Chains A and B, each alone.
Chain A
């Protein structure tokens, strides 16, 4: 597609439920990032996929968070047993992955509210 597409744009869930957030990157972009933006804070790195390499999961805050990327394209971020502190905007970004090409494209995010 023309841009990075994220869905849903807004999600309200009850504490303890599981949620899935979806990111559809730009076609051909091999690098995909998930970030979290909490109110009043900067972007927090969560996970990075690059081609067929093992993902960099070093930013996932707990084992309740997981992500996968199927077929090198669409990615799903799953949060199990959601907590109120998980409330944030979850942003996805992709880029080509070609060396020295750093043009990031961000999606418009999913606002997650845990009540």
Chain B
């Protein structure tokens, strides 16, 4: 059974802290891993990772994939209250489901001022 596990499920930190969100997966025929940020309705796309060891960066956010150990991390440095959201990890894989897209349950991140 394909599965994506995110940890922690929730996290409360103070503004300015650095956080690391984790995503591990077990899927058949992995293609890529995606990170989303969900604040209100639709998750907004952050990163797509296909190759191991290549860090993707966007401002204070960065992410990296380890295809040997089957996990990815999402780092947020110098956190701000606007970073408060649910961060979703999804894995795109061949076979299984309509599009082989399996989501984790998300990490609920709360940044306190």
Contacts and interface: CB of A to CB of B under 8 A. Distances in A.
Contacts of A35: 42
Contacts of B45: 42-43
A2 to B, nearest CB: 10
Interface string B68-102: 00000000000000000010101000001111011
A103 B96 CA distance: 22
B41 A48 contact: yes
A42 B9 CA distance: 22
B25 interface: no
A51 B26 CA distance: 33
Interface residues on B, range: 20 to 34
B10 interface: yes
Given A42-B45, A45-B41, A102-B86, A37 B106 contact: no
A45 B42 contact: yes
Contact of B106 (A44, A100, A103, A110): A103
Contacts of B97: 9, 108-109
Nearest to A48: B41
Given A102-B86, A103-B105, A104-B88, A109 B99 contact: yes
Contact of B103 (A45, A100, A104, A110): A104
Contacts of B98: 6, 9-10, 89, 108-111
A42 B44 contact: yes
B10 A89 contact: no
A43 B43 contact: yes
Contact of A59 (B41, B86, B102): B41
A91 interface: yes
A49 interface: no
Contact of B10 (A42, A43, A102): A102
B56 to A, nearest CB: 16
Interface of A: 6, 9-10, 33, 35, 37, 42-45, 48, 56, 58-59, 89, 91, 93, 100, 102-106, 108-111
6 contacts: A9-B98, A33-B41, A44-B42, A108-B96, A108-B101, A111-B98
